[in-house]
With several copies, the nearest count.
Chain A
């Protein structure tokens, strides 16, 4: 597993795509132009990018309420994504799902999910399927620190371990479940402390560093592809915005110092410094990456805004497959 220039560029690009996608979505939501509740991924980009670089469309992920970043990193198309957030019929889910259910099954993205910890058991099903069908594919559930207290996480982890399934459990430990700090929802600091209880390896990566995540994830995914069973990968990370939306409910539950500390660890400037220091990109070239993505986003938002709303008569369509 060599950290080539291509991989560096890829990590960077995926993170920048997420960052701008989320910032623009957050603004649209705040200004009342976008319906529903958005759980933004800003600050945690290194995790999605570092993992997703290893995955193909045949590898599956399950996501969370905080799912846009995962879909962007898994190659999500901005147009269909914004259209979905806007509830338009051109969206990935024809407007039926919205932010909390955005999905692209064709690319192995088995959906954001409004139910905390619903993803792991589904990913176990996908991992089981990969093994059953004799493929080398892996399934990767993403979930938060808070989610690890749900019974469904536990059941999934145990099943994956006893059946040695190709599943890599990626915990995005951002230190909070909504407004509750980790210390008040579990007596442990490291989610990896749970791995031994399933008989699977638990490894950690700095979730504010895409390269670190890439390395750790690569190891775990390779093990899974080789039939050596699941891994619990914990990435310590931080969300820069509130639980919902950018400024959220205005509750003071985190200190400015804490936020500042993690701002200093912002994974995007961090990798950009690496790119420049290692002569992969110049500052101008980096700016061009941002500009290109911002232009793509502007166009996608226009596309979404000009897209039709779904016809009310379609409300009862898509409940069942009818052949």
Chain B
């Protein structure tokens, strides 16, 4: 689908769109609850759930012990017995604490049981770098999750989409990860007041263009849009695609674009090696080989942990300029 101008004019920052998405999810299902570390009274260290504890009470907005494995287990057990849990894992860097429960229980239970249960579990977690939180609080680990059959994975870039992703995830009968972005909390955009879901598995064409396709994941979508403006000055007409969902991936929308533009670059904040960009690039060349005028490029973080020091972190993270340079490289300019 193409990003459409909604009639709704209300502007909301990403942080409040999260709150609203969770609030409306809790309103929509009595069986939904939110549990996580400091999600209650504090509304999370990011204050993304501020007010929900007061509104829904401690039975439905639950401060948990610091026990990530326990939290995902809570989701599995409650999800298999009639509830629709929303589990918050404060930083996505902490999924290592519960990858067994995620990959071996949450993702596989339905299959192992021969389809005899559903697990309508939403996992909300905060990813990405950019605010000097160093190696263990800045990662983008979506590639781990996308490789595990049984999970769905979303990385909403805008206030509109983060709200719609949370509601969509909560309505889905399968485990869905919504990876939010901590450096985007202040980004403002149109957010309809009523509850709505974005379509899981449907990419969004953020900008139409004829010369070049940039597939940009999560926060990198915004950087890609800026890069497109930079490149416009060089006469390069860039199409920007935001996959929104990484699992299942909307390969068709990406291929349609590449078949038109004949060139593509995939961008994400995660480490380039083994990132989801590899899968997207591999799929593009597999399915649109004859349409390609150049190899599919990839931009991601270099092969190192996220450094603390601001100039190092800036050197580390992809941005609009690096994207623009990458496009020019692929086109053979400069």
Contact = CB atoms under 8 A, between A and B. Distances in A.
Query: In the complex, is A directly touching B at CB under 8 Å?
Result: yes
Interface of A: 35-37, 60, 62, 87-88, 91-101, 103-106, 110-111, 113-118, 120-130, 132-133, 139, 146-147, 149-152, 155-156, 158-159, 162, 177-180, 184-186, 243-244, 249, 251, 253, 309-310, 312-321, 323
Contacts of B75: 125
Contacts of B76: 121-122, 125
Interface centre among B93, B117, B118 (most CB of A within 10 A): B117
Nearest to B119: A321
A152 B73 contact: yes
B104 A118 contact: yes
Contacts of A105: 80, 113, 116-117
B114 interface: yes
Nearest to B96: A115
A96 B111 contact: yes
Nearest to B83: A129
B74 A124 contact: yes
Contact of A88 (B77, B94, B100, B309): B309
B326 interface: no
A98 B129 CA distance: 14
Contacts of B309: 35, 87-88, 95-96, 98, 309-310
A305 to B, nearest CB: 14
Interface size class of B (residues with CB under 8 A): 35 or more
A110 B59 CA distance: 24
A128 B77 contact: yes
A133 B78 CA distance: 10
B112 interface: yes
Interface centre among A60, A92, A118 (most CB of B within 10 A): A118
B65 A118 contact: no
A320 B132 contact: no
A312 B312 contact: yes
Interface stretch (B15-23, B39-47, B208-216, B286-294): B39-47
B144 to A, nearest CB: 16
Nearest to A158: B65
Interface stretch (B157-165, B257-265, B300-308): B300-308
A249 B116 CA distance: 34
Interface in B64-83: 64-70, 72-83
B79 A314 contact: no
Contacts of A103: 112-113, 116
Interface stretch (B4-12, B134-142, B183-191, B220-228): B134-142
